[in-house]
Structure 1
Amino acid sequence: MSMEWRDGNRITLLENGENFFPALFKRITQATTEVLLETFILFEDKVGIALQQHLIAAARRGVRVEMLVDGYGSAELSTDFIRALANAGVRFRYYDPRPAFMGMRTNLFRRLHRKIVVVDGRIAFIGGINFSAEQLSDYGPEAKQDYAVELEGPVVADIHRFTLQALNQQDLHRSWWRKRYRLLAQNKQSGDAQALFVFRDNNEHRTDIEQLYIDMLRSAKREVIIANAYFFPGYRLLKEMRRAARRGVRVVLVVQGEPDMAIVKVGVRMLYNYLVPAGVQIYEYLRRPLHGKVAVKDEYWATIGSSNLDPLSLALNLEANVVIHDRTFTGQLRDNLLGLIANDSQLIDQSRVPKRTYWHLAKSVVVFHFLRHFPAWIGWLPAHTPRLSLVMSPSQPELETQDRVKTEKREAKP
């Protein structure tokens, strides 16, 4: 089986935690056979505790519940929080956990950054929303602006199989997912209710999501809107944005104006002198931190997922997006983004572009090339196979033995 465009899906846009969490918790409450979950961040706050309670309730009524959380993004969970899940029968795994060294976490790179939930093999959620109270508007000025989708239909089978294999640490690139994204994405006639699942790994699918954006820009005819929280892509993607704008496509980029990390603003502003003179319209979203990773093209094309357009997401982290051909969904997402632009964003016109001083030029060159080559330099470091660590309860001795045997077999391979 290879990844393919799937027709006949039901696709629902979910904006922020106010829409995402109730929809997800409702599906978990209705689950009868299985809940699979992957996330980068799970915090032990009101959102994390609500998720914990829904998963425990599902496991106690006989639903198979498996979850995988990143060992860096979710490192602060308490033993009691995790033990409650394990004791209820939830198979709780950490992705590549490592102890701190001199008070510092050492597992910064090659993170599990995906956000995927699959319920009963029938409903899937995918997007950029983590399990944190930061995703709710009542968190305050630092609440994040973000997006996810709920999917029902044939594409869910692809996401389900992918997630099952990831949870069991199988070699995705050597099994059923052999065809690359590009061979399929360029040959599909646009229609409605079509969806394609795309992922990035550190094996055979290193550039699939980046190529997704490049192909989209090359084929755009009228308009492209990209809203991305952490924007510092490679030269190829930047070049295609300029080319699209110069051939008459309205190219709009929405970035953080009130970022959750100061370096984000420094990095993206290095690119203003390159993009704005070519006709790319850049808006800084000012209401609160932008955390979304979405884009729309013309009347029918959209993507949403976990992948930022920065060195970490494009070259190191494990990411997942869904590409959508559907006029209703694309129109809804486009209207939402236009609302952000009209009501809460500032246009970066030529007067706001940093002046071209020698100091600015030198700083831009250094920062750009450092960030651009940063993933390759990290790649020179000794590589390892990230391990999954299963948290056990006294009622799971057989599962402990199975996971230990799997780990020993992997480590024994040359």
Structure 2
Amino acid sequence: MSYTNKLKIFNDPIYGFITIPDELVFDLIQHPYFQRLRRISQMGLSYLVYPGAHHTRFHHALGAMHLMQKAVEVLRYKGVIISKEEETALYVAILLHDVGHGPFSHALEQSIVENVHHEEISLLMMNRLNDFFEGKLTLAIQIFKGEYHRKFMLQLISSQLDMDRLDYLKRDSFYSGVAEGNINSDRLIQMLQVEKDELVVEEKAIYSVEKFLMARRLMYWQAYLHKTSLVAELILTKVLKRAKELTQKGIKLEASQPLHFFLSHKIELEDFNDDVVIKFSQLDDFDIMSALKSWQFHDDFILSSLSKMIIHRDLLKISLDKEKFSKEKLDYLKDKLIAIYPVNNSESDYFVFKGKVKTLGYNKEAQPIKIVKKDRTVEEVVLSSDQLNSRAFSKPVTKYYICYPKVLKEFNKF
């Protein structure tokens, strides 16, 4: 009789050895849904800016589970009762929280499917896995959906200070080389506590919380929303939009079977039956890059030009400003483009367009991060910290962009 050792370890460059806590977690990691995450990049196209940023959602999910193991250990040490069933459910929920991410992570979230968030797809895939594993994921799904009565468990998975954020900041900082994003996740986890079913942080960790929030803000503007990463992701969404438009006109494009399915159909949340979930689970970064390599030689000028931009990293020019770019400036650039490129006015939208990006360092409207004081009173972090009363954390930062081909640079008079 063959025997498989399911209590294996992973050697992680961030934390060292990561242990698999039980056989269910091992079986989930081995499942094709989870193995697919090896082929989904964590930071999308940020490797075009930071060459080391080639890590994957697989890395991140394992790292988040490792931090959850530490959090469970700390909370139990402080007297919080967590049953074995709850412990396993927490590991499963954090392990699978990103299983529904599409290719290049957030870049194509609204391009492959229509108005469907990756967390909704994650839940659909978790439900299918629950059927496969005969109901063993039921508690994890309840926690993930916020339906379990112990609300602090959801906060460990999804909140403004959760294991997801603690891992991706430290991991993305490491792989990108953006040192400003590095955080002390060990310190933050050691200072966690539960008060009245709420996840709180001990008062002496206030400076670590401040550093965490500042690191997240800096990572957004220096890495996730770096203007080159931003324009590359915008071009990629334009490529998929054009590919869908051509496919639905009956023009045949070379593409893998899963990608061809999503190019041929408008898929919304209510369309996600079992067959669609299976097709989505077969889609990854490799499908997109293989398609781009083929499409760069297509007869369609728009599709080939945009595909070449990604393949050769010869991107559109992007300008950022605190003020909105006017429609007059956009139309001016479009007119100049039409005189040079073989496109009409509506097609010029693929090459000249504007928009905005917005981040919020700390969302006071969402469930707040709370500090527990020595007298056991609980206070929101913005009231406990002098640093977090600043506008940088309490109000959203919005930047406006306009994108256009480099050939129009000489016509940019603004």
Considering Cα pairs closer than 8 Å and 6+ residues apart, tell me whether 1 or 2 has the greater RCO: 1
Kindly name which structure, 1 or 2, has the bigger radius of gyration based on alpha carbons: 2
TM norm structure 1: 0.28
More strand by share: 1
